[in-house]
Structure 1
Amino acid sequence: MASLINLKNQQKISLQAHHIFGRQPDTSTTQILSPDVSRTHATIMWEGEQWKIKDTSSNGTFIGPKRITAGEYIPLSIGDEIRFGSADADIWQVNDLTEPRCFLAPMMAHLPRIELVDICALPSENEPDFVIFKSSEQWVLELDGTHQVLNTGDIVGSGNHQWRYIDARPTLSTRNVTCSAQPTQLNDLSFLFYVSQNEEHVSLTLKSRTKDFDLGERCHHYLLLLLARQRLEDKEKGVIESEQGWIKKELLVRMLGMQESHINIQIFRFRKQVVNVLPDITALHHVVERRTGALRLAHDLFDIRGGAKAPKPVPTLAE
């Protein structure tokens, strides 16, 4: 993520997409307490392809020894040395110019700063008490099955593990748009499980009408297999759709031989896996549905091949 370093005191700041430097605390992203600095002194902005700086002050903004032209955006380069207010002011060196990312700023000294890339578990992936994921260009906090869209300044975590969410996304007018050939809806996919006869190996492929996405063999695929089988069994019994596939957590604990907390880890690992393969299908985050004391697979397009028992498959996309 783009950043500047104050060469005098080694303070490092991460740039937001529209980052204001100035003396006024309520309007400045980074406050600079110097009599030579204007209330709103300069702005650094991401313009879709590069970072640029604009001077809006009375005393000037300098890159190296040269004062930049006021009111015009000037491209920045790695290593540029910026001074606000005078040629003798503290030097802020451009350290990184990668595109802006939202991040979690630690509220305790022992915690790391976390850049949000795909899906994040707090306080760690081995303790996914809170999960943050991207949905329709917004970052969403999931806790106990509830969802909250995050806004800058929101506090996430609990106890000695708390972070402040910072939205560093560019505006819609400056955001790069890329096209994807991937499917965009959960209903564009079917799940294909391959299960060994002794059930010790389960691989999973996500199939669309035009392409297959091989997720390989993972431990967490067996959890999905159990949920798929329960859904299939309930469907064959004529259970209404909204009640198909629910398994109580205590039963899953016995079936899998693991603690409930480990089940949560496995669900997170599946979500982490699919977000790297199909980042545009945010509904995959919710493919394991929760309600009080129970879980189910929230999808009914799947096929199970092999295993100790081979139930009749439900229709897939190809059918």
Structure 2
Amino acid sequence: MAVLLHLASGARHHLWMEHLVGRSRRCALRLDDGLVSSKHALLRWVDEQWVLRDLGSRNGTFLESQALRPGEQRALRVGDVIAFGRRDDPWRLDSDDPPVPMATPEDGGAPVFADSELLTLPDCDAPALVVLRDGEGRWIKERGDEVAPAVDQELVAIAGRVWRLHLPTSVDITAAPELVATIDAIAVRFVVSRDEEEVRVVVRWGAREHDLGVYAHHYTLLTLARLRIRDQVERGLPRDAQG
């Protein structure tokens, strides 16, 4: 995904699909500088490229040291240098990759990024919440047996921690239908040691695979999968009654 590099500090900032810059608490990139307006500028992913727009800031938005007119929008390229309110505190666009699904903790800390549009929280080792696209390309979130719509900027609570979802909505970055990770399209493969002490889970959809590693709780999933197969093959139970 796209990255802004602060040249003075070396701080790296990942860009959401619509990235507001300014002093306001609502800004994705919050700058504590009196020369920066409350809502100073906007970085957006539009037509497969990143663009920069000045939001009528008092002290200007600068691209390659040139001031943008109030409301002006300019396309960006990797290596472009941007400044907000002052030319002597620049940022550089180090990557112009498309935005990816991600979640940021409201209390600070490192964001969690999706792997092939599959976002697992709090992490892929012990996922309590999974965010993915359904068969029609809409974002959904799954928590156990519960499935509900997921929306960009939504707050979700997991194990006492609150996360904000950042979900791309542009049709330009929608996954191809055959690669959408829906429940019906996903296959789960269990790799079990002879003594069943180690269970590895591999999730596959389309030509993609995601190795979830070896963990103790995978044995519980294996047990449930075996019960589901037994109910389906031996007992002939309907799908919602299996397992």
TM-score normalised by structure 1 residue count? 0.53
Measure the CA separation in 1 of the matches of 2:182 and 2:122: 30
- Note if 1:147 corresponds to 2:141: no
Post-superposition Cα deviations, 1:70-91, rounded to whole Å, max 9, x if no partner, equal 4332111222211112323x11
**1:47 corresponds to which residue?**
46
**1:85 corresponds to which residue?**
85
Partner AA of 1:114 in structure 2:
V
Structure with the higher helix share, 1 or 2: 1
Q: Residues 198-209 of structure 1 correspond to what in structure 2 (within 5 A)?
A: none
Q: Residues 63-74 of structure 1 correspond to what in structure 2 (within 5 A)?
A: 63-74=63-74
Post-superposition Cα deviations, 1:201-239, rounded to whole Å, max 9, x if no partner, equal xxxxx9xxxxx98x9xxx98897465334313223xxx6
Post-superposition Cα deviations, 1:136-180, rounded to whole Å, max 9, x if no partner, equal 344444333223434425134215xx35123241445xx345654
Corresponding residue to 2:129 among 131, 151, 158: 131
Q: Please state how far the C-alpha of 1:5 moved relative to its aligned partner.
A: 2.1
**1:9 corresponds to which residue?**
9
| Paired residue total | 213
TM-score normalised by structure 2 residue count? 0.67
Structure 1 residues 113 and 176, CA gap change in structure 2 (3 angstroms): closer
Structure 1 residues 180 and 123, CA gap change in structure 2 (3 angstroms): closer
For the pair shown, which has the larger CA radius of gyration, 1 or 2?
A: 1
| Structure with bigger RCO (C-alpha 8 Å, 6+ apart) | 1
**1:287 corresponds to which residue?**
none
**2:234 corresponds to which residue?**
233
Q: Residues 126-275 of structure 1 correspond to what in structure 2 (within 5 A)?
A: 126-128=125-127, 130-136=128-134, 137-151=137-151, 152-159=153-160, 162=161, 164-171=163-170, 175-176=172-173, 180=177, 224=225, 227-235=228-236, 241=238, 246=242
Structure 1 residues 79 and 149, CA gap change in structure 2 (3 angstroms): same
Partner AA of 1:135 in structure 2:
R
Structure 1 residues 227 and 75, CA gap change in structure 2 (3 angstroms): same
**1:38 corresponds to which residue?**
37
Q: Is the 8 A contact 1:104 1:163 kept in 2?
A: no
Q: Please state how far the C-alpha of 1:41 moved relative to its aligned partner.
A: 1.9
Q: Is the 8 A contact 1:22 1:41 kept in 2?
A: yes
Q: Is the 8 A contact 1:36 1:85 kept in 2?
A: yes
Q: Is the 8 A contact 2:140 2:149 kept in 1?
A: yes
Partner AA of 1:49 in structure 2:
E
Q: Is the 8 A contact 1:78 1:94 kept in 2?
A: yes
Aligned residues: CA RMSD: 4.0
Measure the CA separation in 2 of the matches of 1:183 and 1:103: 17
SS in 2 for 1:227: helix
**1:62 corresponds to which residue?**
62
5+ residue gaps, structure 1, are 192-199, 201-205, 207-211, 247-294, 296-319
Q: Please state how far the C-alpha of 1:31 moved relative to its aligned partner.
A: 2.7
Q: Is the 8 A contact 2:102 2:113 kept in 1?
A: yes
SS in 2 for 1:36: coil
**1:119 corresponds to which residue?**
118
Q: Is the 8 A contact 1:61 1:84 kept in 2?
A: yes
Measure the CA separation in 1 of the matches of 2:179 and 2:105: 35
Q: Please state how far the C-alpha of 1:120 moved relative to its aligned partner.
A: 4.2
Partner AA of 2:72 in structure 1:
E
Q: Is the 8 A contact 1:80 1:94 kept in 2?
A: yes
**1:95 corresponds to which residue?**
94
Q: Is the 8 A contact 1:121 1:132 kept in 2?
A: yes
- Equivalent pairs: percent with the same residue? 22
Structure 1 residues 176 and 104, CA gap change in structure 2 (3 angstroms): closer
SS in 1 for 2:13: strand
Partner AA of 1:16 in structure 2:
W
